[in-house]
Amino acid sequence: MWMANYELSPAYYHITELALSFLEKVLKVNIKLHATNEELDEGDIFLFNHFARFETAIPPYLIYRATGKMSRSITSPEFFTGSEAAKHLLIGLGAVPANMPGLMPFLAREIIRGRKVVIFPEGGMVKDRRVVDKRGRYSVFSRTAGERRKHHMGSAVLSLGVDIFKESVRSAKKHGNDAILSEWSKDLGEDGRELLLEFSEKETTIIPANITFYPIRAEVSLLERWAGLLAQGETAIRLKEELRIESNILFRDTDMDIRFGRPSCPSEYIGLLEKLTLRFAKSELGSLEEIFAYLKGDGLLHTFTKRRLYELRNSYMEEIYSCVSVNISHLASSLIYAYLEQGVDAIETSTFSRALYLAIKKIQKYPFIKLHRSVANPELYCSVFEGTCPALEEYLTVAEELRLVEREEGLINFMPRLLVEVDFENIRIENPIMVYANEVRPIPRITSSVAKAIEETDSITESEMALLSFDDELSSRAFDLARYSGSKHRELNNAQRISTDPRPFLLFPEGTPKSTGVILIHGFTASPAEMRPLGEKLRDAGYLVHGVRLKGHGTSVWDLKDTTRADWRRSVAHSRRVMGALVKDVIIVGFSTGALCALESAALDPKGVRGVVSAAAPLKLRDKAMLFTPLVHGINVLTGIFSEDMELHPFHESHPEHPEVNYSHIPISSLHELDKYIGEVEKLFSKVTQPVLVMQSSGDETVVPASGKRLYDKLGSEKKRLLNINSNRHGIIYENIDNCHDDVLDFIEDMEEYTKT
């Protein structure tokens, strides 16, 4: 019979590799495995939640890619009733049906051979993501039984059976029972005995994992239309539903995050009474078949261990559900149902956006909550206030199309369909909002954070919101730092000699700050550390000071390579919003490229800017390499079309004055951005009408010294001053050359008096 032949096939793993490569590169399915190869190698039994049919093939391949070890996976018998090709693909990847005779001993022997076992303890696709009842107990809907049931115990039983067998092997070895060891190892191959003994010394490890898809879509797909032509009746309805979900995941830009929870070991759940019972039963238990038959029966061991098995199961299920990658749609959905529970059926868009932002900031405080990029990266969620957040807009658009919400000018109406109980098979299509809310319901901190966000929405002050926005700057740097810390980036990252703290800063003076605040903007390849000494002097003088981090800086040269001048503008604009809520007016102090940012901001958004300090603005650079930057950049762009690794010369090695602050390598693409930025900002100088202090080193070896006079002449300001500093250094602000910090402080204090008069 075909079920007797379960030969694993590396060729089918290769087919899966090609398929996943196609999904990732062509269809933009972003599969992200949040685990190291070492962590995966430690596991014996891997447990996954189940939402989509193709999940059956993906985990075994990802484990294989990370560890080089093939897996066995328990699969619903219905998956083996389709085409012969699909059936053999599943078998080649290691799948076996859940109703296979002798399943547990078979899987145990595979673990002995060093293979992994993949199990979906929910027992089927949980399309509604409803995994806890009203009392918080774990259960799922069984499509075959038509009712809710507990999660399967197979994973717990398998792990315990394997542990019992290990104890038996160790006992046989201790007592020199070679005959029984030979009997147990004879079907493991010629190295069976060594495998058996090595296996018995390693603790059995269960790795719980969660697969989260984002976003969940509900539109009709081309595949669904094909299904209507290829099948009729009940089969067509079922096939169409499956293909709608699967194709909307596969054929659109979708994130598939796989996260792993705290490992579980069955030995941790076996108490003294169970251990004594095991010793008593050991003489009766020899083969794996006998062990699992005993566990399945009604003997003393089964009675004593049943409660422990429940504890083990609940432990790993809790880990699975706590590892969901929480995204912005999860929080928006939880927010909607929290409002509905309070009897609110309509909410102002601005209030909803503020509550959503507060919920995001609250869950960020809990390190055990796994965050999707849409709530971990401020770039992706900060725009909720402006109504320009793409993720939220897509979410609300889908909700409108499904008649779950209705939007009118400044208002979101929650429609009655949100509370209608939907058929299990169709809930992902008809009410994805409920699916999102169900998915994070097992995490109590989500519920409490959403409730507190609603409570605080009307009472939180603008100053408190500004502090949260500043925290976004810290979060943004942390996110970017992690994003560019992989093996690809390691060599260049390690070559940098930065030792100063590169984080943005917000310095509060003792007592009440003066009404004018100061924004400090660092230079190209540097970080806020470059401006920190000046910031501390200004803080001591009574000013609230914000040190901005221009995106791409203070993290990795690879990060800088991927940023543009538009990103730098957004960094400064964000700082303006933060300071605008904390002080009445600002003075912007910029060094080098930061001076360009300061002048541009004052020209384009003059309201509230009392003055500008421009130190060593780089209108023209001495580095001759800048002459060839457009050519090299153009070649890099052309070669990079085929592969980023093919770029001719992506980085230019530099020798900065302050290697403890600046990158020692400069991306060619960033030099190109800087060159373009200089030209764009220079056209705006005449629009700068605020008072300006222009500072320039007379012997600057980075910027052509004549840049200072050129800038001074082009400014549209009536009140301006050109201060030439006698030095051949570029970093005049960082080094406080000629006590230029005092000149900056004098200018700021003069501006306060000047504005008053």
pLDDT digits (tens, 9 = 90+) for 398-410: 999 999 999 999 9
Tell me what pLDDT residue 189 has.
Answer: 77
Can the peptide bond before residue 60 be classed as cis, meaning omega within 30 degrees of 0? no
pLDDT at residue 432 tops 50 = yes
pLDDT tens-digit map of 436-460:
999 999 999 999 999 999 999 999 9
Tell me what pLDDT residue 647 has.
Answer: 58
pLDDT at residue 299 tops 70 = no
Residue whose tokens read 């939880």: 334
Please give the residue that has the higher pLDDT: either 396 or 223: 396
Tell me what pLDDT residue 279 has.
Answer: 59
Query: Out of 217-226, 415-424, 575-584, 693-702, which region has the weakest mean confidence (pLDDT)?
Result: 217-226
Burial class (CB in 10 A: 0-12, 13-18, 19+), 586: buried
Tell me what pLDDT residue 136 has.
Answer: 78
The secondary structure of residue 57, as a DSSP letter, is: T
Residue whose tokens read 């693409």: 669
Tell me what pLDDT residue 273 has.
Answer: 61
> 682 by DSSP, 3-state: which?
helix
Please give the residue that has the higher pLDDT: either 286 or 585: 585
Q: How confident is the model at residue 304 (pLDDT cuts 50, 70, 90)?
A: low
Mean confidence (pLDDT) of the chain? 87
* Percentage of the residues of the chain whose pLDDT score is greater than 90: 58
* Percentage of the residues of the chain whose pLDDT score is greater than 70: 87
pLDDT tens-digit map of 720-733:
999 999 999 999 99
Query: Out of 153-162, 333-342, 401-410, 560-569, which region has the weakest mean confidence (pLDDT)?
Result: 153-162
Tell me what pLDDT residue 124 has.
Answer: 80
Torsion of CA 25, 28, 29, 35, to 10 degrees: 60
Q: How confident is the model at residue 248 (pLDDT cuts 50, 70, 90)?
A: low
Q: What is the mean pLDDT of residues 284-294?
A: 76
d(CA 755, CA 608): 11
What are the residues whose beta carbons fall under 8 Å from the beta carbon of 206, sequence distance 6 or more?
43, 44, 45, 46, 47, 155, 159, 263, 264, 265, 266, 312, 316
> 398 by DSSP, 3-state: which?
helix
d(CA 129, CA 132): 9
Please give the residue that has the higher pLDDT: either 634 or 514: 514
Please give the residue that has the higher pLDDT: either 295 or 614: 614
Q: How confident is the model at residue 172 (pLDDT cuts 50, 70, 90)?
A: confident
Q: How confident is the model at residue 229 (pLDDT cuts 50, 70, 90)?
A: very low
Tell me what pLDDT residue 612 has.
Answer: 98
Please give the residue that has the higher pLDDT: either 118 or 424: 118
Tell me what pLDDT residue 250 has.
Answer: 61
* Residue 664 half-sphere exposure toward CB, CA atoms < 13 A: 12
Q: Dig out the tokens for 755 from the structure.
A: 């504005």
Tell me what pLDDT residue 728 has.
Answer: 93
Q: What is the mean pLDDT of residues 535-548?
A: 98
pLDDT tens-digit map of 64-120:
989 999 999 998 887 777 667 777 888 888 889 888 999 999 999 999 989 999 999
Contact 402, 218 (CB under 8 A): yes
pLDDT at residue 661 tops 50 = yes
Q: What is the mean pLDDT of residues 693-709?
A: 94
Tell me what pLDDT residue 251 has.
Answer: 57
Query: Out of 332-341, 378-387, 475-484, 681-690, which region has the weakest mean confidence (pLDDT)?
Result: 378-387
Q: How confident is the model at residue 51 (pLDDT cuts 50, 70, 90)?
A: confident
Q: How would you label 255-273 residue by residue, b for 16+ Cβ within 10 Å and e otherwise?
A: bbbbbbbebbebeebbeee
pLDDT at residue 302 tops 70 = no
pLDDT tens-digit map of 347-375:
999 999 999 999 999 999 999 999 999 99
Could you tell me whether strands 516-521 and 505-507 are parallel, antiparallel, or unpaired per DSSP bridges? unpaired
Q: What is the mean pLDDT of residues 373-384?
A: 95
pLDDT at residue 265 tops 70 = yes
d(CA 137, CA 321): 12
Contact 429, 217 (CB under 8 A): no
Tell me what pLDDT residue 545 has.
Answer: 98
Q: How confident is the model at residue 137 (pLDDT cuts 50, 70, 90)?
A: confident
d(CA 126, CA 57): 17
Residue type at position 705? P
Burial class (CB in 10 A: 0-12, 13-18, 19+), 483: middle
